[in-house]
Amino acid sequence: MIKKEEINHIVKLSRLSLTEEEINIMEKELFQILNYVNLINEIKDLDKIQIENKKIKNNILSLLREDEIKDFSEEEKEFIFKNFPEKENSFIKAKKIF
Amino acid sequence: MENLTITKIVAGIKRKEFSPTEIVNYYLDKIEKEDKNIQAFLNVFKNSAIEKAKEIEKILKENKNSFKLLGVPIAIKDNILVKGFPCTAASKILENYIAPYDATVIKKLKKEGAIIIGKTNLDEFAMGSSTENSAFLKTKNPLDLEKVPGGSSGGSASAVAADLVPASLGSDTGGSIRQPAAFCGIVGLKPTYGAVSRYGLIAFASSLDQIGPLTKNVEDAKIIFDIIKGKDEMDNTSVSFFSKDKILSKNKIKIGIPKEFFGDSLDKNIKIGIENLIKKLEKEKIKFEEISLSHSKYALSCYYILATSEASSNLARYDGIKYGFSVLNDFQKNNKNLMDIYFESRGKGFGKEVKRRIMLGTFSLSSGYYDAYYLKAKKVQFLIKEDFNKIFKMVNFIFSPTSPFFPFKIGEKINNPLSMYLSDIYTVPVNLAELPAISIPLKTQTFNNFPVSLQIISPKFQEESLFNIASFIEKLENE
Does the active-site annotation cover B152? yes
What residues of chain A lie within 8 A of the CB of B363, using their CB?
2, 10, 30, 34
Contact: A37, B97; criterion CB under 8 Å: no
pTM beyond 0.95, yes or no: yes
Active site (annotated) includes residue B419 = no
Is the model's pLDDT at A98 over the cut of 90? no
Strands (E), B148-253: 167-172, 187-190, 210-215
So what's the pLDDT on residue B331? 63
Q: How far is A41 from chain B (nearest CA, A)?
A: 8
Instruction: Output Rg (C-alpha) for chain B, integer angstroms.
Output: 22
Cβ-Cβ contacts under 8 Å for A26 (sequence gap 6 or more): A7, A11, A18, B355, B356, B359
Q: What is the ipTM of this complex?
A: 0.93
pLDDT in tens, B113-138: 999 999 999 999 999 999 999 999 99
The backbone region for B429, taken as left when phi is positive above 0, alpha when psi lies in -120 to 50, beta otherwise, is alpha
Q: What stretches in chain B show pLDDT beneath 50?
A: none
CA distance B409 to chain A (A): 22
**B325 chain-A contacts, CB cut-off 8 A:** 85
C-alpha A80/C-alpha B214 separation (Å) is: 30
In terms of C-beta distances under 8 Å and separation of at least 24 residues, what long-range contacts does A72-78 make, across chains too?
A72/B100, A72/B101, A76/B83, A76/B100, A76/B101, A77/B100
Q: Find residue B289's DSSP bridge partners.
A: B256
Q: Do B316 and A15 touch (CB under 8 A)?
A: yes
Pick left, alpha or beta for residue B324 (phi over 0 → left; psi -120 to 50 → alpha; otherwise beta): left
Q: What is the pLDDT of residue B244?
A: 64
| Collapsed DSSP state (helix, strand, coil) of residue B236 | coil
- Of all residues in chain B, the one with the smallest CA distance to A93 is B321
Q: With an 8 Å Cβ cutoff, are A29 and B356 in contact? A: yes
Strands (E), B16-143: 41-44, 73-77, 115-120
What percent of chain A has a predicted confidence (pLDDT) above 90? 56
Which run of H or E residues covers position B142?
none
pLDDT at residue number A52: 65
Q: DSSP E strands: which ranges in B204-283?
A: 210-215, 254-258
Question: pLDDT higher for B354 or A6?
Answer: B354
Looking at beta carbons, which pairs linking A21-24 to residues 24 or more positions away fall under 8 Å? A22/B355
Computed over its alpha carbons, how large is the radius of gyration of chain A? 23
pLDDT of residue B30: 98
**Shortest CA distance to B305 belongs to which of B237, B379, B413, B367?**
B379
Chain centroid to Cα B188, Å, comes to 7
- Dump pLDDT digits (tens) for A17-57: 999 999 999 999 999 999 999 999 999 888 888 776 666 67
Report which residue type is found at B205.
A
C-alpha span between B304 and A51 (Å, rounded): 20
Cα–Cα distances in Å, from A43 out to B36, B159, B295, B371, B380?
A: 49, 42, 9, 15, 9
pLDDT at B329: 78
Beta strands B397-401; B450-457: pairing state? antiparallel
Which has more confidence, A68 or B4? B4
- Closest residue to A83, CB basis, from B97, B298, B417: B97
- Angle ∠(B22,B24,B30) on CA atoms, nearest 5: 100
Partner-chain contact A30 B97, CB within 8 Å: no
Q: In chain B, what residues touch A76 (CB-CB under 8 Å)?
A: 83, 100-101
